Chains A and B, each alone.
Chain A
Amino acid sequence: MELCDRSAHKLLELLRSKQVSAEEIVRSSLQRIAAVDGRPGSLESGEETEKDRQSVHAFISVAAEQALDQAKSIDRQLAKGEPVGLLAGIPFSAKDVFCVKDTYTTAASKILANFKAPYTSTAVERLQKQGAIMLGKVNLDEFTYGSSNESTAFQPCPRNPWDTSRVPGGSSGGSTASVAAGEVPLSLGTDTAGSIRQPAAFCGVVGVKPTYGRVSRYGIIAFASSLDCPGPIARDITDAALMLQAIAGADPRDSTAANVPVPDYLATLEQGVKGKRIGLSPDYFQISYMDAESGEIHQKPVQEDIRAAVYHAAEVLQRMGAEIIEDVPMPNTRYGIPAFFVISRVEAASNLHRYDGVKYGYRTPSAEDDLRVMYRKTRNEAFGLQPKLRILMGMYVSAAQYSEQYYNRALKVRALLRRDFDQIFDPLGKYRLDALLTPTTPTTAFPIGAIYGDSVLMQYADQFTVTANHAGIPGISLPGGIAADGLPVGVQLLGPDYSEHTLLQMGRSLEIGTQDEAWRSQRPALTLRW
């Protein structure tokens, strides 16, 4: 096993016992990137080649020299016996919506392609303060608007390391692909409807959507400000806990970052699930989606091997001491997507008005003598179709004559979704759950090109994840098996506000309970070729 395939906590052990150096760790990651990533995404991508179709394309930019300098500096500190941070010497990638001072922060959009951040986001700053080494920025759906990464303006788009004809999921697809391919052990993502958990499931890695406000949003290019949550992506639960430990907590620069003490996630990780009450809901084993032609609502069960993986996870957790409660009603689950169509679009449209060719970013090169014409040309030339779609829908549903019918109603439906969770997690209620166990996604990773363009069907890929964003609660997706198509299956744990420590503990138990199963030794095809 190469160094770059090791977990962050194993690398920390090796580093602190002086069996490896930080420089060797970083060089191993850079070698893997050189071997499997292919050319980085760019605005001038040209024709796609066969090599492109077999590469990951997770990265937009790689900061190799800076990373090596930082690694050498950490090695010097360790040699002198100086104290180092929790994640000293561990490489990570950051979704390209995290501002990092003096680096390009593009949001995978032409409109920000030339934007160099003048400051650093809190999440990245905290990782760097703990000695983690940023290797580069990774690709995503343009402005995070998508579930497959195909909408990035920086092509070639990321591909799934398990099967490069499949999408890695999205919008944090570059992050999950970079972790699954062994390019980095850790990555920072953001989750607005499932954008950490869905690609984590598709790529067979761990993704944590923390409670809203658990991790500061300062310095992150916004999608929907009441739903966005930055969070960790890692290869196992221990690494995710390490990363969350570093980034969680109040931040004077974000008034929505909750002033709630951060527990020691690692201290409770191995405490098991004995006595924990974990629910299964039939409402999370079928998707309701709208037929594009007829407008009728259809219901379809989740892919059979996904259902089986979730029930298997429940059996394992039960064997380890958890109590499984079936038939937990979550009656409003199906309304998560329609409500998201409204709320997220209103917030996205508002956030995108700032891109006007005046203060930063792209401005049309055509000489205009009217400010309004300059605005229109700039925004038309530099926004892709998905941002345009969100701007237009956001403006429509928030217009004075429609806002009661759509926006206010969607906000009330959000209250119903929250109520569903309040009732099942109520310690005095009928169910008294510590967590709800669900599939992360209704299917495994779909082929590139299969859904892209159908904005409604694409959104329904988030049906089981978006509810946590509406409710603000934390959720974790972790590997639950390999489906018959050879692709990873993700299982999801959802819990009450600020219960990340419990969810991580349950996730760790599931890892321990399945560690000898054959699927655990399977690796992404692309890393085996290397």
Chain B
Amino acid sequence: MSEEITPEIFNHLVTLAALELDEKQAAYLRRELNQQLKAIHELEAIPLDADLKVTTHGVSYNLANSPALREDTWLPHPNPDEILAQAPQVDEQYIIVPDIPHEKLD
């Protein structure tokens, strides 16, 4: 298969990923993505049984090894200010961000 991530697809991915790249970065990243895609295409040649199920964890979880779920109980954090102190910009207990653009949906 000769599928390739074209400059158009690449630019679309960059927008979706909320990135902004200079030309040098873009050239390197698109080249590497296409090299990785060649390696990934090896998967297409593997015969898979129709009833083969996906494995989301190598070790399967069952009653014997799954921990019981915690009670869904609200617990106060001992010091919320400590968490808020990590935010780049706050006003009292509000996190401040630039304007959120609004678009009219069709």
Contact = CB atoms under 8 A, between A and B. Distances in A.
B67 A250 contact: yes
Contact of B19 (A388, A393, A414): A388
Interface string A89-118: 000000000000000000000000001101
Contact of A342 (B25, B40, B69): B40
Contacts of A226: 56-58
A412 B58 contact: no
B20 interface: yes
B12 to A, nearest CB: 9
A292 B32 CA distance: 9
B76 interface: no
B43 A413 contact: yes
Interface in B19-55: 19-21, 25, 28-29, 32-33, 35-44, 46, 48, 52-55
Given A258-B65, A341-B40, A369-B98, A385 B29 contact: yes
A455 B36 contact: yes
A188 to B, nearest CB: 21
Contacts of B10: 392
Interface residues of A, number: 83
The majority secondary structure among interface residues of chain B is loop
A231 B46 CA distance: 32
Interface residues of B, number: 57
B105 interface: no
B32 A371 contact: no
B33 A392 contact: yes
Given A118-B86, A258-B65, A392-B33, A411 B20 contact: no
Contacts of A380: 19-21
Given A371-B97, A373-B98, A415-B53, A410 B43 contact: yes
Interface string A388-414: 110111011100000001101111111
A251 B33 CA distance: 38
Interface in A360-381: 360-363, 368-377, 379-380
Interface string B53-81: 11111110100111111100000000100
B57 A256 contact: yes
Nearest to A294: B38
B102 to A, nearest CB: 11
A297 B65 CA distance: 40
A337 B53 CA distance: 20
A455 B35 contact: yes
A212 B55 CA distance: 13
Contact of A415 (B5, B17, B55, B64): B55
Given A257-B67, A342-B40, A375 B87 contact: no
Contacts of B35: 290, 292, 454-456
A470 interface: yes
Contact of B40 (A338, A370, A471, A497): A338
A379 B57 contact: no
Nearest to B82: A118
Given A368-B98, A375-B18, A211 B59 contact: yes
Interface stretch (A42-50, A234-242, A351-359): A351-359
B29 A388 contact: yes
Contacts of A376: 18-20
A252 interface: yes
A473 interface: yes
Given A396-B33, A415-B52, A258 B86 contact: no
B98 A391 contact: no
6 contacts: A115-B86, A363-B88, A389-B29, A415-B55, A456-B35, A472-B57
Q: Which 3 A-B pairs have the closest CB atoms?
A: A472-B58, A472-B59, A411-B54
Interface of B: 5, 9-10, 13-14, 16-21, 25, 28-29, 32-33, 35-44, 46, 48, 52-59, 61, 64-70, 79, 82-83, 86-89, 95, 97-101
Given A118-B82, A295-B38, A454-B35, 9 more contacts: A260-B65, A363-B88, A368-B98, A377-B20, A380-B21, A395-B17, A416-B48, A455-B36, A456-B32
